[in-house]
Structure 1
Amino acid sequence: MITDMGLRHTLQEIEGWQGQYKRVLRWQHRIRMADTARSSADQLDFLLAFFASCFDLRDWLIASGVDRESVTALFRGNVELRVCRDIANGFKHFRITDHPYDAKFSVVREYVPENWPSYVGHGESKWNIVAGEDMFDLVALAHQCVDLLDEFLHDQGLNAA
């Protein structure tokens, strides 16, 4: 049994919140690069992984010393990040009980006719979420979440590099 290898820091400590932010961006890239070789189930998996990573960034920021109230205000004050939170918690815990935007949200596939413009290579369907009175395109929602995070990081003077 190895008890002490002399390692002083974990990868999490070395990377900090910036490492988690970069993981969020990689999931966003995977969503963007979804193509005809990917099944609809793969697309959904990429989207769910993105939203889980995106919401996890909240905890990373707070643990790194970013003001808790500012981070909480960001995630509670933007419908996009509230829906992100519901997706992350809904698929982690099965039920959402703590201040959801919509605890009974529905993730649905919407048919997109072949001749209509579509951002996905196979162009026949896209993933949406119905939450409250709203319907969001999940790919567009992912990009909106990153835009909100970028604005917050900039306003806080935080460098993601």
Structure 2
Amino acid sequence: MLEQFERAKRYLIKIENLYAGIFSSSGHDKEAYDDDDVVSFFIHCYHIRDWIIHLNKSGITKQQVDLYINQYQALKICSDLANGSKHYKLTRSLRTNCQPYISGTGVSSIWYTGNGGGEVMRCTYTISSNAEFFDALELAKECIQLWESFINELTIMKDQHCPGN
């Protein structure tokens, strides 16, 4: 379970880096600024669910994990964004009322002339869900915090059921 959680955290770092800025000595490289890393974060983040269910060591059920997800708007958006991005046709119902999507990308650049020159591109991403707009980085951070809390609860449950582990 922790392997998938760590993978999602690595994608969070990629989003943070996009927001902080990417340096290019050759100017703007559109491939470096697409939304693939943002979408990949939400896919990997949502699939922490599967790892919890399949590596279950604390007796938690799939329904309990889904109940946890459904308590939090950030995890519901993460779920629907991941499934909508990953599957051509959804076979499960949405947790939100309307399929979330990346509705906006902001890009700003700063040119540097010293030290060989180059450009720093900073990106921001907006996610639309149910006629509301969310900053992708803030949503991603909230999802990681929620999963971390849940994983900590599971660890406590496991330790209570299996002393000495």
**Native 8 Å contact 1:95 1:103 kept in 2:** no
**Post-superposition CA distance 1:35-90 (Å, at most 9, x none):** 23485654411111111101111011000115123211121111101100111111
Moved over 3 A (4+): 37-43, 94-97, 110-114
SS at match of 2:102: strand
Partner of 1:81: 75
**Where in structure 1 are there 5+ consecutive unaligned residues?**
1-16, 115-120
Partner of 1:25: 9
**Native 8 Å contact 2:106 2:125 kept in 1:** no
Which of 95, 99, 103 matches 1:104? Answer: 99
Instruction: Go from structure 1 to structure 2 and tell me whether the alpha carbon gap of 1:149 and 1:40 turns closer, same or farther (over 3 Å shift).
Output: farther
Q: C-alpha distance in 2, partners of 1:45/1:59?
A: 21
Instruction: Go from structure 1 to structure 2 and tell me whether the alpha carbon gap of 1:33 and 1:89 turns closer, same or farther (over 3 Å shift).
Output: same
Aligned length: 137
Map 1:31-70 onto structure 2 (within 5 A): 31-34=15-18, 35-37=21-23, 42-43=32-33, 44-65=35-56, 66=58, 67-68=60-61, 69-70=63-64
Partner of 2:137: 139
TM-score by length of 1: 0.72
**Where in structure 2 are there 5+ consecutive unaligned residues?**
110-119, 159-165
Pick the structure with more strand per residue: 2
**Native 8 Å contact 1:97 1:103 kept in 2:** no
Map 1:89-128 onto structure 2 (within 5 A): 89-96=83-90, 98-100=92-94, 101-111=96-106, 122-123=121-122, 126-128=124-126
Percentage of pairs with the same residue: 23
Q: C-alpha distance in 2, partners of 1:135/1:18?
A: 30
| Structural RMSD (CA) | 2.6
Which is bigger in relative contact order (C-alpha 8 A, separation at least 6)? 2
Q: C-alpha distance in 1, partners of 2:125/2:9?
A: 19
TM-score by length of 2: 0.70
